Structure 1
């Protein structure tokens, strides 16, 4: 194999109560990457599309390449690679844009070199791209993008422990991306360093309820558990119209609604595709009410993760 094209999906992280713990992959949007072997060693980015010229072509400053370089060092390889990256989602959207690029790059490279590592073994290298992008090597975006499905990050120490959680086949996600941008570092910096025992207990109960609700297919339990009493109240101030948009989603039939990752995108979960579409339209109207344009994505829970396109 001399070249490969791979798609890696966007993700919703935190999923309300599960800050830095939960994440799930969606069918769209996502990123595409094309890798080609070249004779001379090193990585070379030929072009990036869909980023409005904002992403660096320097491999030492590009999240996809950061992950690929870490991977190549680990397997002690000096294979030269040329790269074309197609960003098919907004930057700074709260949909795991940097994670999708990192996952696409390291997954495609592993395939191109004959799969010397398993898919799970690629996770630490994808996390290095996240470290460069946001300052923290968190996995709640890269893990679902790489492995597919709904994942929980139990621990990072002494090694990362990722669990895939079964989800009902009829569960659909609505994502609405408003045409504003929230910087991930800023969204993390405004968070309080401590929380009350009362809120901690409430949040732990919702995390446990979410896992149980997903595995049992109990939509009522999922709905009751999609509540964030720690992170959402702080970050909501960064999203104009947040309260109105969330209320519109619930009134349209969503099980729950919250911020996707660091925002500004918001997500809702519904128990069928038709409801998910109606929820998206209602959320978009609410954003329009505060003079903000937005895009809607409706998807089941993507169980596949990256896909080889050619």
Structure 2
């Protein structure tokens, strides 16, 4: 799937210029999933969706043009209700402007069902839920991939960088490769159906902006060659359903050595997970969440319990999730 100048493509949308709109009071509720970005060696270019957690958006049509946010739950007051400052409404506004439908009035409720700042694509899940909701409300039957540039606008607002390794899998589902950003070229990858993901979110603060700032901007050629080989090996393992190859390819010599310093006992947790049967172990997004691939659900659950127990021993609370890779993406509830 290649998307060149995708925002301009909406100029020919079948919705453009329509005089009607959904009836006032029409309402839709959408869920969008959390994601694991980077997938260890694929910084900013790899990501996959999981079944849980995720966020929910309720969107209803109002009689006054413009977007309002009437309620946000689950954020402990951290997210703005002002429509011009919230990633969900900003992304939806860009979409409406692109298709010439700024005459529509919308009210949005955002229900955070996942922790903010977890490294699990919290902002992208909210943004994708909002975009999928307006697309569904308007009966827009264009390719869902055309929402991706608007979702990236939300990521730019959230963390200062419009990357797609969270929003693309949240929107498209499955395991996703961003081959290029200019032009935008996104590819869904196959994956073993019996691959499980064990996720643990330690309750510590690792802001995404700060986590990006500590990354080196210059690297050694030998490290780049190692990283290229691992990314190619991971993609090859996904295509050939070779879990052993997937596991030995998931090594990061560029970003993980720096970001791991922000996560308490990262290497202790990795050793515990690998000894318990994990195929691989790494940081989800910018952290502090960590994840492990396993061959079965029981091993995944054992690993999450073990890691949570270890974190409790060092006085850190945590949440845990076990999931296969979610191929569905967002859905109407």
Q: Tell me whether the two structures share a fold, i.e. TM-score over 0.5.
A: yes
Aligned to 2:316: 292
Matched, 1:213 2:270: no
Alpha-carbon deviations, 1:95-152, whole Å to 9, x = none?
A: 0000001100011101101115320100000110000001111000000000000000
1:163 aligns to what? 187
1:263 to 259, 263, 287: 287
Highest Rg: 1 or 2? Answer: 2
Indicate the SS of the match to 2:204. coil
Per-residue deviation, 1:288: 2.2
Q: Which residue of structure 2 lines up, in the alignment, with residue 83 of structure 1?
A: 108
1:132 partnered with 2:153:
no
Distance in 1 between residues matched to 2:219 and 2:249, nearest whole Å: 19
- Structure 2: where are the runs of 5+ without partners? 1-21
1:37 CA drift (Å): 0.4
Q: Who is 1:178 aligned against? A: 202
Asked whether the 8 Å contact 1:64–1:101 carries over to 2, the reply is yes
C-alpha separation in 2, matches of 1:18 and 1:276: 22
Q: CA RMSD in A?
A: 0.9
1:93 aligned onto 2:107: no
The CA distance in 2 between the partners of 1:3 and 1:177, in whole Å, is 33
Give the match's secondary structure for 2:84: helix
SS at match of 2:199: strand
- Does the Cα contact within 8 Å between 2:192 and 2:243 map onto a contact in 1? no
* 1:9 corresponds to: 33
The 5 Å alignment of 1:13-28 reads 13-28=37-52
Whether the 8 Å CA contact 1:6–1:34 is kept in 2: the answer is yes
Query: Deviations for 1:241-284, whole angstroms, at most 9, x for unmatched residues?
Result: 11111111111100111100000000110111111111111221
Of 121, 140, 149, the match for 2:174: 149
The corresponding residue for 1:43 is 67
Q: C-alpha distance in 1, partners of 2:188/2:92?
A: 24
**SS across alignment from 1:114:** coil
Q: Distance in 2 between matches of 1:126 and 1:61?
A: 14
Are the equivalent residues in 2 in contact too, given 1:246–1:283 (CA < 8 A)? no
Question: Which structure 2 residues correspond to residues 236-275 of structure 1 after superposition, within 5 A?
Answer: 236-275=260-299
For the residues of structure 1 that align with 2:174 and 2:301, how far apart are their CA atoms? 21
* Counterparts of 2:49 and 2:332, CA distance in 1: 16
Unpaired stretches in structure 1, ≥5 consecutive residues: none
